[in-house]
């Protein structure tokens, strides 16, 4: 059985003190970056394994952070998680990922499991069925665990949030469709109890009103964010006596379903009907007919969420700080909506 390597072995190898090795391994800023790197390289070469339990007991931190998302099969949430991990890794944190599948009970189970695991913080995007006042969220705060919402959020005093300006993104997408000559624009919405979808609806509505067009609530239809719902709802829209000449969807997945159904009806995109989505999922640019979409900067959102957590965890006396970070959206115009070439 091979001998277990300790910090004393590393200290002997480098001819420095064990205390210096310990501080270097824990990224103590008092130790120079060169020394920290040298210790890290030597520790790796000697196959040193840090005792995480002892570290947690000493520091009072588990160095684990919980991340809860509605779904993992979305590039948006995968990119947010990547941003969080990239930002937290240099601080020695590991990420525990949970998904709710928009199931309220599963969301509560995830929160309980993370609290039982004694995570140092919970970063989450709430499920579609979350309510504004939620006992689980309050339970996190009562345990003095930092809670930070990203993308989908509940409005709770003292809780930081990182979002994009969904109203502006929807407004710009709708104004673009109007600039292409579209006058009857349908909106595939989502659960408007969730603030991001309500804001996208309001941005869409405001753009229509500001352009002097008639706003018709009957062509605003709630849809689940999937291809099947996009097809089903678009089919009903196309069968109207006065069908829309454009569709703005709050999701790229429903936009994809809309495009499939429009083609199935023998109509041309964008000549007969324009389509725009939201999220800028990777498939939107790789399709034969690339889809116009609003980019949400998910990597930046993840990094910013992690930065807010680090700021909060380092202010032990103030766990309930409240920081509202709003990122700017970017409209990516592609063939699905481009009638007029500029």
Q: Is 3.30.365.10 the CATH classification of the domain at 62-163+297-326? A: no
Instruction: Tell me what pLDDT residue 28 has.
Output: 82
Instruction: Tell me what pLDDT residue 157 has.
Output: 83
Taking only the tens place, the pLDDT of each residue in 189-235 is: 998 988 899 999 999 999 999 999 999 999 999 998 899 999 999 99
Average pLDDT of span 28-56:
81
Instruction: Tell me what pLDDT residue 27 has.
Output: 77
Task: Decide which of 3.30.470.20, 3.40.50.300, 3.40.50.2300, 3.40.50.2000 is the CATH code for 166-296+331-337.
Answer: 3.40.50.2300
Q: Is the distance from CB of 270 to CB of 335 less than 8 angstroms?
A: yes
The mean pLDDT value of the chain amounts to 90
Q: What's the CA gap between 175 and 36, in Å, rounded?
A: 53
Taking only the tens place, the pLDDT of each residue in 287-314 is: 989 999 999 999 999 999 999 999 888 7
Higher per-residue confidence, 18 vs 229: 229
Instruction: Tell me what pLDDT residue 1 has.
Output: 46
* Percentage of the chain exceeding pLDDT 90: 64
Average pLDDT of span 145-150:
94
From 143, 71, 54, select the one nearest 107 (Cα to Cα): 71
Instruction: Tell me what pLDDT residue 156 has.
Output: 85
Taking only the tens place, the pLDDT of each residue in 238-267 is: 999 999 999 999 999 999 999 999 999 999
Average pLDDT of span 92-102:
93
- Specify the CATH class of 7-50 in words: mainly alpha
Q: What's the CA gap between 263 and 13, in Å, rounded?
A: 69
Helix residue spans in 227-297 (DSSP H): 227-238, 252-264, 283-286
Q: What's the CA gap between 87 and 82, in Å, rounded?
A: 9
Contacts of residue 293, Cβ cutoff 8 Å, sequence gap at least 6: 252, 255, 276, 277, 278, 279, 280, 281, 284, 331, 332, 334
Q: Which pTM was predicted?
A: 0.79
Question: For 154, what's the count of Cα atoms within 13 Å in the CB-facing half-sphere?
Answer: 19
Instruction: Tell me what pLDDT residue 60 has.
Output: 65
Cis peptide bond upstream of 69, omega within 30: no
**CA 173 to the chain's CA centroid:** 20
| Token output for 250 | 């709050």
Instruction: Tell me what pLDDT residue 339 has.
Output: 83
Average pLDDT of span 19-23:
88
From 320, 327, 311, select the one nearest 147 (Cα to Cα): 320
Instruction: Tell me what pLDDT residue 51 has.
Output: 65
Q: What's the CA gap between 168 and 278, in Å, rounded?
A: 12
Place of tokens 């889809």: 291
Is a pLDDT exceeding 60 seen at residue 279?
yes
Same CATH fold assignment for domains 7-50 and 166-296+331-337: no
Is a pLDDT exceeding 70 seen at residue 162?
yes
- Alpha-carbon distances of 155 from 132, 164, 258, rounded to whole Å: 6, 15, 32
Is a pLDDT exceeding 80 seen at residue 148?
yes
Instruction: Tell me what pLDDT residue 133 has.
Output: 47
Higher per-residue confidence, 44 vs 268: 268
How many other C-beta atoms are found inside a 10 Å radius of the C-beta of residue 220? 17
Is a pLDDT exceeding 80 seen at residue 52?
no
**Domain residue spans in the chain?**
7-50, 62-163+297-326, 166-296+331-337
Average pLDDT of span 56-81:
85
């Amino acid at each position: 059985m091979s001998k277990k390597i300790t910090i004393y072995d590393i200290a002997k190898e480098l001819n420095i003190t064990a205390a210096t090795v310990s501080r270097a391994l824990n990224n103590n800023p008092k130790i120079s970056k060169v020394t920290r790197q040298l210790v890290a390289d030597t520790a790796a070469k000697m196959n040193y394994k840090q005792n995480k339990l002892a570290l947690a007991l000493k520091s009072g931190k588990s160095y684990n952070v919980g991340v809860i998302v509605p779904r993992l099969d979305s590039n948006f949430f995968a990119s947010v998680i990547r941003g969080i991990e990239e930002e937290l890794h240099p601080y020695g944190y590991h990420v525990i990922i949970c998904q709710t599948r928009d199931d309220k009970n599963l969301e509560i189970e995830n929160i309980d499991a993370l609290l039982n695991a004694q995570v140092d913080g919970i970063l989450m995007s709430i499920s579609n069925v979350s309510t504004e006042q939620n006992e689980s969220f309050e339970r996190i705060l009562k345990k003095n665990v930092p809670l930070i919402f990203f993308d989908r959020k509940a409005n709770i005093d003292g809780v930081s949030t990182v979002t994009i300006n969904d109203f502006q993104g929807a407004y710009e997408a709708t104004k673009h469709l109007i600039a292409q000559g579209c006058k009857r624009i349908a909106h595939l919405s989502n659960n408007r109890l969730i603030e991001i979808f309500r804001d996208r609806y309001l941005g869409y509505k405001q753009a229509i009103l500001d352009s002097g067009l008639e706003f018709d609530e009957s062509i605003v239809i709630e849809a689940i964010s999937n291809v099947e719902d996009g097809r089903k709802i678009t089919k009903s829209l196309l069968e109207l006596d006065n069908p829309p000449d454009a569709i703005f969807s709050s999701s790229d997945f429903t936009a994809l379903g809309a495009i499939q159904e429009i083609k199935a009806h023998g109509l041309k995109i964008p000549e007969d009907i324009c389509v725009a989505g939201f999220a800028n999922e990777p498939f939107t640019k790789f399709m034969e007919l690339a889809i116009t979409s609003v980019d949400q900067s998910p990597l930046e959102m993840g990094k910013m969420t992690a930065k807010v957590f680090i700021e909060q965890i380092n202010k032990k006396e103030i766990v309930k700080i409240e920081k509202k970070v709003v990122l700017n959206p970017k409209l990516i115009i592609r063939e699905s909506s481009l009638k007029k070439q500029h």
